[in-house]
Chain A
Amino acid sequence: MKRTLKTINSPTPEFYFVGDAAQDRIAELEEMARQCRIDIVKMTHAARAGHPGGSLSAIDCMVALYGTSLRFDTSNPNWDDRDRFVMSKGHASPAMYALLHQMGVLEESDLMGFRTLGSVCQGHVDMNWTDGVDFSAGSLGMGLSFGLGCALSARMDSSERRIWVMLGDGETQEGQIWEAVMAANYHNAKNLRVIIDRNRIQNDDFMGVQMEIGDIGAKFESFGWSVREVDGHNMAELVETLRWTETSDLGPIAIIANTTKGRGVSFMEDNPEFHGKAPDDEQLAIALEELS
């Protein structure tokens, strides 16, 4: 069953975290994430291409964000004063499209057109092709700088809008990330928030084999950022962490979300092979069974 959110989230997201209502809300978000996972494996299977691993690792964070605190109007996804969501790890586009489907912005037929000629679901997320996508990604390392530009503009406009950027942990190997980390602190961009999908796998192999960056959080902190680590698949913890971001007197915020690549599909979990490989027919059947 598709759950369609038609609300603009409150800038002070207290309502969803009180008593029994909070528990119901967590269950609702977990169900939404499950639906997204099903769509992620289905659309990569249909396209015979795409990046399921990093989509499955990032999706819980994205559902928590869109489901509770991102100010986003599903009936007007291009609303000028919306919070921005910059999907810098643009290869995890299936996660973005699956979520926009849950939000009622994309149709199921859109998802099934993923990566085909003329489809609104381009291989990597593209702001010119898809309503509700705020950044044209595909080349790693650029989204944080873009988010900083959005954050500085919001401040110039005296707007309360916040800018969220989703980075991959492998992506932090790009030097431009650290140019932006430095600049965000220098410009005191308190409205800039980053989630790092710490799944420890990049295209070719585990980061420990390719290029391990070490303590990402400490690096952000050393540049003056406020940092928190979280279990990136624990919905209650994610929602609590999102509420923490509303605390006053924080700098730019980095959330290190410890995740498992391919989460939810046994043979994709922690498996570098499914960074950029779609499930075949047999694998799809197994995946759907596991997700049901």
Chain B
Amino acid sequence: MSAPSSGGASRDGYGKALLRLSDDPRVVVLEADLGKSTKSCHFREKFPERTISLGIAEQNMMLVAAGMASSGKVPFASTFAIFTERAFEQVRNGIARPGLKVHICGSHGGIHTGTDGSSAQSIEDLSIYRSIPKMTVIHPCDDLSAEELTVQLLDVQGPSYMRTARNKVPRMYDEGSKMGLSIGVGSVLEEGGDVAIFACGVMVERARNASAKLAKEGIDCTVVDMHTIKPLDIELLSKLAERCGCFVSAEDHSVIGGLGGAISEWLSTNKPIPLEMVGVRDRFGESGGTSELMEEVGLTSEAICQAARNSINRKNSS
């Protein structure tokens, strides 16, 4: 895999994907005043007649989307990740329960969002949407993968939640490699036999950096971009559990119920091997610059390195 090139924020990829999806006349876009932030604004500029502004009223937006889906449209509704949570029960009862094909995008997810402070830093969205039956839950790591995975949502038969991030990050994919992505299939970026690191979102870059550092210590890592948290790629988990014998999860999200939670649920009931989780340790964030905040809450490549060493030690001592 080539070195990451400097790139874009996953929310930019979402915006581009909506334009690509515009060829399908069923596609409609719903906004709750934050289209400039979620990047649905690009669709609005080109297709105002298919863009519905709902104002600062997320609960209404979710059910308007449901009504449109029941009438044959394919709605893409977006706001900040944290504000989708305000309408959690609307998503649960109004969209997912009847199995309506509504695609929700929550942008500005995670601590990475930075200076806005803890009210804007959703660290529980992946967990709460993962707990809803029939939901597909996706968290891409860069703009190119976000674009590709959003386009693929058109073929998902049911509701979905995609978390995107605010800030630009180095690209993990290029125009060619993004074509290998598929919803529900973990993307193996590096292959090594000592430990498997499963990361999502902005933590994928940190996982790759950790892998490079660990290589110097003689530790060979498998690094997976686990962009789909649900359905979980258990075939890949099973294969890598055999090959590596210990795991690390890394996410800009609470360690409760997100990617790490999902992996640990599967491991504990199927293949109990060591798992070390890198994530937010049951606390809220605060204002600050992105990198200093990520360091403050322990979302660094060094934290992943340490988790990998711990996981390997546990494997070797068992």
Interface on A for B, CB 8 Å cutoff?
80, 86, 126-128, 134-136, 138-139, 141-143, 145-154, 156-157, 175-176, 179-180, 182-183, 186-187
With contacts A127-B98, A128-B99, A148-B67 taken as known, whether A179 is within 8 angstroms of B60 at the C-beta atoms is: yes
Q: How far, in whole Å, are A149 and B70 apart by their CA atoms in the complex?
A: 9
CB contact between A182 and one of B55, B63, B72, B97 (< 8 Å): that residue: B55
Q: How far, in whole Å, are A183 and B54 apart by their CA atoms in the complex?
A: 6
State whether A153 touches B54 (Cβ < 8 A).
no
CB contact between B60 and one of A135, A138, A151, A183 (< 8 Å): that residue: A183
Q: How far, in whole Å, are A151 and B63 apart by their CA atoms in the complex?
A: 12
State whether A150 touches B70 (Cβ < 8 A).
yes
Interface on B for A, CB 8 Å cutoff?
28, 49-50, 52, 54-55, 57, 59-73, 75, 89-90, 93-94, 97-99
Question: Which A residues touch B57, using CB under 8 A?
Answer: 176, 179, 182-183
Q: How far, in whole Å, are A187 and B67 apart by their CA atoms in the complex?
A: 15
Question: Which B residues touch A134, using CB under 8 A?
Answer: 70
Q: How far, in whole Å, are A38 and B184 apart by their CA atoms in the complex?
A: 51
Total A-B contacts with CB atoms under 8 angstroms apart: 99
| Nearest 4 A/B pairs, CB to CB | A149-B67, A145-B63, A153-B71, A179-B60
With contacts A80-B72, A149-B64 taken as known, whether A156 is within 8 angstroms of B93 at the C-beta atoms is: no
Q: How far, in whole Å, are A148 and B63 apart by their CA atoms in the complex?
A: 8
Secondary structure of the A contact surface, majority rule: helix
State whether A138 touches B66 (Cβ < 8 A).
no
With contacts A179-B57, A187-B52 taken as known, whether A150 is within 8 angstroms of B98 at the C-beta atoms is: no
State whether A139 touches B66 (Cβ < 8 A).
no
Q: How far, in whole Å, are A224 and B98 apart by their CA atoms in the complex?
A: 31
State whether B94 touches A142 (Cβ < 8 A).
yes
Question: Which B residues touch A141, using CB under 8 A?
Answer: 59
* A to B CB contacts below 8 Å, 25 in the list: A86-B67, A126-B98, A127-B98, A128-B99, A136-B93, A142-B59, A142-B94, A145-B61, A145-B67, A146-B66, A148-B60, A148-B63, A149-B67, A149-B69, A149-B75, A151-B67, A152-B64, A152-B67, A156-B50, A176-B60, A176-B63, A176-B90, A179-B57, A180-B63, A183-B54
